Structure 1
């Protein structure tokens, strides 16, 4: 991932000019997020009530502080962090479980990074004075991201901001529930955006 997309640094991303070169770069970033199978790993589900997720997130935060860009995250760096955790005077059982099975913790980190990067791309595009100019490619890309739940909220906002017939049609497809292409929450968000646009459709 090119900088600053790989950092999730919104202060830098928000200030990027929306030149043709930068827009093409942003498009390529989202395309890679959608089409890279290694970016959608099979993450084991932790047991309820999600305490393991909490400790995974603690480890993810430690990784992010040590290696703020995705290109900096290496197994050598992760191994060093694991050694530091193991050297703590007090390590709770779940923390020990994470460092003993760190591969699962890192796998769980990938979808979150993927979501953050896609979110920053769509937020950045929506800042343009005429986001409709991206419609020829961004409508399809945003719709796919909502279906796959990658940066979905910002993708829905961008579809609404573009305001083209194609973008509205995408929102209508995404708003179908039950049995539509998007998750229930994302379908409701798409439906809400349609209401904001004056669609006037009633809920199923």
Structure 2
């Protein structure tokens, strides 16, 4: 007497194999705990999305153009992060692009700007904390003489202590949070 039809037996056998393949691997307590800790640490990281939002206007004296740029740093990760401005190259760059006969871009030397201190825009900021789930905005304004296509670039260096800790744990963390955007001026 058959307890299962051939079809039912095939389904049972398939689900038993699947259960074996997906069953948790039993490891010694210390090793399993260490793996869980590393998995948790891998999820606990800052993830910064850099967005540059430019606006272009004719200069009031009709001599050139004013470009304002809002750089948004959105932390989509689960840990706060610190971005260092001190002892780093200027964070924001703008350069006019020209194209050669092959259509490849060539760039004028960049105009560079440090991140301004909020309370005193004439001074450079030292660092900035970006909390998990939050967005910080940094404003830049400058004047250009020529119409054309400009490359706007931003780079915020990750705090050295934060990078060292990530490396110690074997977690990937970039050297800096970066973003680029082309903007057409006067076209």
| Interval containing the TM-score (normalised by the shorter chain) | under 0.3
TM-score (normalizing by structure 2): 0.24
Q: Which has the higher contact order (CA 8 A, sep 6+)?
A: 2
Q: Over alpha carbons, which structure has the higher Rg?
A: 2
Richer in strand (by share): 2
Richer in helix (by share): 1
TM-score (normalizing by structure 1): 0.22
